[in-house]
Amino acid sequence: MSIVEQQVTRQQEEIDTLKQKLLGLEADILVKQQALNKVAIQEQEIILLKEIVLEKEKWREQANGLSQDNDHLRQVNEDLIIENRRQRQVIAELEENMMLMSTILDLRTTELEQEKKNKLHLKRKLRVLSTAEETPECHGRFKRQSLKDCPRCHAEVSSTNLCKYHPKTPVKLDGTYFFPCCGQSGKSEPEGCQSSGQHFMVFGT
């Protein structure tokens, strides 16, 4: 084999060697490219996981905030229940006081009505007491059995007893007779408040 052929063969071998190296480099590049792609995918996954972690922290903070709000609302609800019970107790006490005041008012009204009646009764007595003295024989208020009866004390004229009589006309109040001259009262005439040594004799009814 000639020198030229040897050189050609040698160069051809070198070219084949370079081709083999080039193929190896291409294979290495492809492997590295796949590795880079995997790394990129993993980086994307890491970024996504970081975002998920941040979102999780955010949701955790929101959950904590909602839990605190819930606790606050529960406390407010309990406070409102206690206040409601207290207000009901106050209302019950006020209603009881109102009933008591109503009873007192009714009693007071009854007392006032009785006081009005008593006042009217006293006015009548005062009006009677303020009138001039009148002798009972002027009105003939008590019917005599005969002319022998004293019209003032209703005893027999022949009696030696003193003549005890009421100088003022009686007033009939509530079914009883009230005598303004002495303040005595009764369904029948009580003993007179004044006396005389002689019985009074008058011809009348």
First to last CA, the chain: 202
**φ/ψ (deg, to 5) at 181:** -70, -30
Lowest mean per-residue pLDDT among 32-41, 55-64, 142-151? 142-151
Q: What is the pLDDT of residues 54-73, one digit of tens each?
A: 998 889 889 899 999 999 99
Q: What is the reported pLDDT for 138?
A: 40
Q: Is the pTM of this model over 0.85?
A: no
DSSP reduced 3-state for 20: helix
Q: In this predicted model, which residue has the larger pLDDT, 194 or 144?
A: 194
Residues 137 and 167 sit within 8 Å (Cβ to Cβ): no
- The one-letter code for the residue type at 95 is E
Residues 125 and 178 sit within 8 Å (Cβ to Cβ): yes
Rounded CA separation 51/37 (Å): 21
Report the 10 Å Cβ neighbour count for 92.
Answer: 10
Instruction: Please report which confidence band the pLDDT of residue 139 belongs to, taking 50, 70 and 90 as the band edges.
Output: very low
